[in-house]
Amino acid sequence: MKMRIRRKRRRPGLMLTSLLDMFTIILIFMIVSFEAEDYEFRLNPDLQLPESSARSLFKPAVNVAITRAGVLVLDELVAPFADGRAAPADYEAKQIPGVVDALSRVLSAQQALVDPTLDDEDEGPIVMLQADRDLAYETLYLVMRSARLAGFGKYRLTIMKK
Tell me which residues touch another protein (CB under 8 A): 13, 16-17, 19-20, 23-24, 26-27, 30-31, 33-36, 41, 43, 49-59, 123-124, 126, 128, 131-138, 140-141, 144-145, 148, 153-161
Report phi then psi at 21, rounded to 5: -60, -45
Give the count of beta carbons closer than 10 Å to the beta carbon of residue 149: 16
Q: Which is nearer to another protein, 39 or 117 (CB)?
A: 39
Q: Which is nearer to another protein, 66 or 73 (CB)?
A: 66
CB 74 within 8 A of CB 62: yes
Residues 6+ apart with CB under 8 A from 60: 39, 40, 41, 128
CB 67 to another protein: min, Å: 12
CB 9 to another protein: min, Å: 17
Length of the chain: 162
Q: Which is nearer to another protein, 108 or 161 (CB)?
A: 161
